[in-house]
């Protein structure tokens, strides 16, 4: 068993319908040396009371409260700032993990020497129906990541010695975060696992479901964040569109 402490960052906003499933999946990990930093982002439902109940039962659960709803990027940054783990991992309050997720991930990173890792995952509808299996490439670098965010944040983990970067409050904040981390690390690797290690809930009103808005965010990232030229941005957009279709159909990337 690894003696590395993993800090799990979970932003929460009005998530009472899914919160127990997400938290239980973290606390049930076979790698039990973890801290779960839950950042309540101004919830007005039963989430705050549920979080306090979990914290009272398990000392690994730490609840932080934002003074007002500031969005997922600010909540994750608050969690990262409070984390003391050797590794940082993320899970949103409506997603959940396989019980061996952290153990397999740590073993994979130790064997490969990678500072960032990610895994395959299932996309699931609100009624429980499996929509697709997302299987990213075995390894990616920054240039690969320009085609798509191959790192599902619910599976992504990085070694703290790589250094922290803040999440920006912009569209596709997850993608921008992993682009920068992979640039700094040189590469990221997929966990060696015969089965997906997480479940991603596709909610009917999800922001990411708005394809036109997502495309405009992607173009802005290429042009204004990564500073790519017009022609290269257009090529990257074409690759992005292709991989978006692949992800939804569940075809191997």
CATH number (domain holding residue 44) = 3.90.550.10
**Considering the domain boundaries, does residue 218 fall inside one?**
no
Q: What is the pLDDT of residue 238?
A: 73
Give the C-alpha separation, 89 to 98, whole Å: 14
- Inside any domain, residue 180: yes
In a domain, 122, yes or no: yes
Q: What is the pLDDT of residue 63?
A: 98
**Quick check: helix, strand or coil at residue 116?**
strand
User: pLDDT by residue for the chain (253 residues), tens digit each?
Assistant: 579 999 999 999 999 999 999 999 999 999 999 999 999 999 999 999 999 999 999 999 999 999 999 999 999 999 999 999 999 999 999 999 999 999 999 999 999 999 999 999 999 999 999 999 999 999 999 999 998 889 999 999 999 999 999 999 887 899 999 999 999 999 999 999 999 999 999 987 654 456 677 777 676 677 767 777 888 877 767 777 777 766 666 544 4
Of 138, 147, 70, the closest CA to residue 108 belongs to 138
Is 116 domain-assigned? yes
Adjacency order of strands within the sheet including 130-134: 96-97, 198-202, 121-125, 130-134
pTM of structure? 0.87
The neighbour count for residue 102, using CB atoms within 10 Å, is: 26
Contact status, residue 72 vs residue 135, Cβ threshold 8 Å: no
Query: How many whole angstroms separate alpha carbon 92 and alpha carbon 19?
Result: 9
What is the predicted pLDDT for the residue at 207? 44
pLDDT of residue 232: 82
Residue 250 belongs to some domain of the structure? no
Q: Which residue has the tokens 């500072």?
A: 115
The pLDDT of residue 253 is 44
Considering the domain boundaries, does residue 188 fall inside one? yes
- Does 71 fall in a domain? yes
Please tell me the distance from the alpha carbon of residue 123 to that of residue 131, in angstroms, as a whole number.
5
Q: CA nearest 8: which of 69, 63, 50, 65?
A: 63
User: Structural domain tally of the chain?
Assistant: 1
Q: Residue 176 in contact with residue 77, Cβ under 8 Å?
A: no
| 90 CB-side CA count, 13 A | 26
Q: Which helix (H) or strand (E) holds 61?
A: strand 61-65
What's the confidence (pLDDT) of residue 219? 62
Would residue 230 count as lying in a domain? no
Q: Which domain holds residue 163?
A: 6-205
């Amino acid at each position: 068993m690894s003696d590395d402490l993993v800090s799990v960052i979970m932003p929460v906003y009005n998530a009472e319908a899914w919160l127990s499933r997400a938290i239980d999946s973290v606390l049930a990990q076979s790698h039990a040396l973890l801290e779960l930093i839950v950042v309540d982002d101004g919830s007005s439902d039963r989430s705050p009371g549920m979080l306090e109940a979990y914290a009272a039962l398990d000392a690994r659960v730490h609840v932080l409260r934002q003074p007002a709803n500031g969005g997922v990027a600010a909540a994750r940054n608050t969690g990262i700032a409070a984390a003391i783990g050797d590794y940082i991992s993320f899970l949103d309050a409506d997603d959940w993990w396989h019980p061996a997720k952290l153990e397999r991930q740590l073993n994979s990173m130790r064997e490969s020497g990678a500072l960032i890792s990610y895994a395959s995952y299932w996309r699931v509808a609100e009624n429980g129906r499996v929509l697709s299996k997302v299987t990213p490439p075995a390894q990616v670098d920054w240039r690969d990541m320009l085609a798509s965010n191959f790192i599902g944040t619910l599976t992504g983990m990085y070694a703290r010695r790589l250094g922290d970067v803040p999440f920006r409050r912009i569209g596709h904040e997850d993608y921008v975060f992993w682009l920068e981390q992979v640039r700094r690390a040189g590469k990221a690797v997929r966990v060696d696992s015969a089965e997906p290690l997480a479940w991603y809930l596709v909610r009917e009103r999800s922001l990411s479901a708005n394809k036109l808005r997502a495309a405009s965010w992607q173009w802005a990232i290429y042009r204004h964040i990564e500073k790519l030229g017009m022609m290269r941005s257009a090529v990257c957009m074409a690759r992005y569109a292709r991989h978006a279709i692949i992800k939804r159909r569940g075809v191997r990337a």
